[in-house]
Chain A
Amino acid sequence: DAGVIQSPRHEVTEMGQEVTLRCKPISGHNSLFWYRQTMMRGLELLIYFNNNVPIDDSGMPEDRFSAKMPNASFSTLKIQPSEPRDSAVYFCASSSQGGGNEQFFGPGTRLTVL
């Protein structure tokens, strides 16, 4: 198995532009998580899905952020419009059950908003 796949690996954009991050979870996993990691705030959960349904989006910072999971093998995190304070590493992770099981992380997308 290729593991969790994220794209792009690096994204540099200008303030105000739309950014879309993509994630392909491990086949057979039914939970998907989007995290953001910064030096100041560490690893923060933004949103997670169970069986393609958003369960908890309380970590989404504001309306500029949105996430979708149209099917079991694909999810997107969109920021529109982007701001410099959104610069961070965004990780996607998947697991086989909602609770107690280990999470498998992707390599992350390093986002820089100028």
Chain B
Amino acid sequence: SQKIEQNSEALNIQEGKTATLTCNYTNYSPAYLQWYRQDPGRGPVFLLLIRENEKEKRKERLKVTFDTTLKQSLFHITASQPADSATYLCAPPVSSNTGKLIFGQGTTLQVKP
């Protein structure tokens, strides 16, 4: 069955450093993958979508890569700030013709000042 894996351990980094979060998927090849941010007590908020024919996508300090050979997406936050502290979820679709997403467990990022 389709499986999404994100680092379950929290990632603690110093302000100003680059945070790198990993999302691995197995048993299928999604046509795209979305990344969301979730703050405590709130619903997830969409950040970026990357398609299988895009190697990299950027939005301000965010960068996402999509390696279909490794079956992995990396999510980078450069020049991290304490306000970036949150849980980040990756979410590929179940199949290309549906809006149904499979959400990873999420990785919690803590940026220390």
Contacts and interface: CB of A to CB of B under 8 A. Distances in A.
Chain B, interface size: which category? 20 to 34
Contacts of B102: 45
B101 A45 contact: yes
A42 interface: yes
A57 B103 CA distance: 17
Contact of B99 (A35, A42, A101, A107): A101
Interface of A is mostly: strand
B101 A102 contact: no
B99 A105 contact: no
Contacts of A61: none
Contacts, number: 62
Interface residues of A, number: 27
Contact of A102 (B46, B98, B100, B106): B46
Contact of B105 (A42, A45, A55, A91): A42
A31 interface: yes
Interface of B: 31-32, 34, 41-46, 49, 89, 93, 96-106
Interface of A: 4, 31, 33, 35, 42-45, 48, 50, 55-56, 91, 93, 95, 97-108
